[in-house]
Amino acid sequence: MSGGYRQLLDATIGHLESLKQQGVHHVYASPELLNILKQPKFAPDSLSENQGEQSRSTLQVIAKPKVGNSIYDSPRLGVDDKNSAMSIIKQEILTIEKSPELLASKANLVFGSGNLEADLMLIGEAPGEEEDKAGIPFVGRAGQLLTKILLAANFDRENVYIANIVKYRPDTLGQVFGNRKPRPDEIKFWFPYLDRQIEIIQPKVIVALGATALGGLLGNMTTGITKLRGKWQSYRSVPVMPTFHPSYLLRNQSWAVKRQVWEDMLQVMERLNMPISEKQRGYFLR
């Protein structure tokens, strides 16, 4: 057995053991992969060095990353490998045994949406009622406002990636309407899946929408979002711009607050070396 194949096998076994510890009992295997494994020619010696390296790179990204290291330490995947890696994570989530609360609320998975090659990734806290129905993040009133902000900054939703810290709408049992903020234990449980999404996408900039999203990325926050917004932070070597959640803007129609969020977006545009017009620089100035 070649050394490269042995490393690949060890990485696979290690990954499966990690999933088992998390309570995952089934993993996704594409029809293409199953067909390859059925072929007689699939043997340790049939793997070329390039194939072995590519497989190990993919496994390194799919496996749970070591929190704290740079996401850029992992090889950048092609879009097909990114799609495969995301599909595996999504399948893992779907096979997790749901809590009685989630079962009772019949919540739907809101995994994330957008361009897996995106330079910009936006992260919110948790799906709301509208997101739960659609299975897509930020489609309610706050999401519509976010789309307008992105368009004003020359971003199309199809060219960014949007996800939440928590992958299911927090249960609101006993409530007729409304949403609730996710608990710390919920954030802790779901965050590793977001972490893996970040590592797969390898964005150049992350925008943290609100205190909950920022707290999930930074861990213990020494101060509130009001003082941190507009000041660059970092998560695993990715620049993070904290800003207010769009729902805050819906509650607070202050011209000054709108300008603050816009100034944050201008910084994002500058960090991504995007052209900024004088008209854009003048938004919300009186």
- State pLDDT tens for residues 72-115: 887 888 999 999 999 999 999 999 887 777 766 788 999 999 99
Residue 42's pLDDT is what?
A: 42
Give 46's contacts (C-beta < 8 A, 6+ positions apart). Answer: none
Range scoring the smallest mean pLDDT among 55-69, 148-162, 175-189, 260-274: 55-69
Instruction: List C-alpha distances in Å: 239 to 59, 63, 81, 166, 286.
Output: 25, 23, 24, 21, 30
How many Cα neighbours within 13 Å face the side chain of 27?
20
Percent of the chain residues past pLDDT 90, beyond the cut:
59
Is pLDDT above 70 for 163?
A: yes
Residue type, 177: F
The two structure tokens encoding residue 120: 């910009």
Q: Is the pLDDT of residue 4 over 50?
A: no
**Domains in the chain and their CATH numbers?**
1-97 (no CATH), 102-286 (3.40.470.10)
Q: What is the DSSP letter of 44?
A: G
CB 234 within 8 A of CB 245: no
pLDDT of 25 reads 52
CB atoms within 10 A of CB 57: 15
On the 0-12 / 13-18 / 19+ scale of CB atoms within 10 A, 125 is buried
Residue 26 has a CB neighbour count (10 Å cut-off) of: 10
> Alpha helix locations (H) across the chain?
3-21, 31-38, 49-62, 79-95, 100-105, 129-134, 141-152, 184-201, 211-218, 225-228, 246-251, 255-271, 278-281
Predicted TM-score (pTM) of the model is 0.78
45 Cβ contact list (under 8 Å, min separation 6): 2, 5
Name which of 92, 113, 105 is nearest 170 in CA terms: 105
Whole-number pLDDT of residue 104: 67
